[in-house]
Each structure stands twice: as structure tokens, then as C-alpha cells.
């Protein structure tokens, strides 16, 4: 799952990510995160609620959301 998430992140943002760091420390801005979330939703056919957007600080937060779904 992690590999797929990273592939989506890199495809959607055209940026490399160090998963040990937060999105912010990887120089991802709010629009990058929205693009990632939309890419995740499309690939995994899930819906991530707007209220959960602010909780997404790192790649592991996306993993947690996906595992819950």
C-alpha cells in the first residue's frame, strides 16, 4: 500500500517525498495535499471527508485513513 501511496504522491505533485518527514517539511503546500488526496480517492475509490484533510500531516496519516476504509 505504501508504495502505491508514494507513487500517487509523486504522480500528482511531481515532487519526491521523504516519508520520514511531514508534508510541510517536504515543501508540500495545501494544493499539493489536496491533489494527493484527490489522487488517493480516485485510485482507491474512497472518499476522504473535508474534516479529515487537516489531520493529514504525513504519509502515515494517509495510510491510517486507507486502512480504516
Partner 1 sequence: MISIDSIKSYIPKSNLNIKKKYKNINKNFLIEKIGTNAVARKRSNEDVVSMCIKAFKKLKNKKLPNLKVLILCTQNPEKNGLPHNSAIIHAKLGLSESIATFDISQGCAGYVYCLKVCENFLNNNDQALIFTCDPYSKIIKKGDFNTEILFGDAATVSVIKKCNKGQIIKDYSFFSNTLNNKAINNFNGYLEMNGRGVMSFAEKYVEMEIKNILKKNKISINDIDKFYLHQGSKHIVNKITKILNVENTKVPLCIKNIGNTISSSIPILLEKDDFKKNKYSILCGFGVGLSISTCIIKKL
Q: Measure the CA–CA gap between 63 and 69, rounded to whole angstroms.
A: 10
Q: How far is the CB of 43 from partner 1 (least distance, A)?
A: 14
Our finding on whether 49 is near partner 1 (CB under 8 A) is: no
Q: How far is the CB of 63 from partner 1 (least distance, A)?
A: 20
Q: Measure the CA–CA gap between 57 and 45, rounded to whole angstroms.
A: 21
- Copy the grid coordinates of residue 9: 504522491
Q: How far is the CB of 32 from partner 1 (least distance, A)?
A: 8
Count of residues binding partner 1 (CB under 8 A)? 9
- Copy the grid coordinates of residue 57: 500531516
Amino acid at each position: 500500500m505504501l508504495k502505491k501511496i508514494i507513487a500517487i504522491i509523486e504522480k500528482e505533485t511531481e515532487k519526491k517525498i521523504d516519508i520520514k518527514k511531514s508534508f510541510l517539511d517536504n515543501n508540500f503546500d495545501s494544493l499539493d495535499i489536496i491533489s494527493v488526496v484527490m489522487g488517493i480517492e480516485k485510485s482507491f475509490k474512497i472518499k476522504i471527508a473535508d474534516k479529515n484533510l487537516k489531520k493529514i500531516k504525513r504519509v502515515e496519516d494517509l495510510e491510517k485513513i486507507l486502512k480504516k476504509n
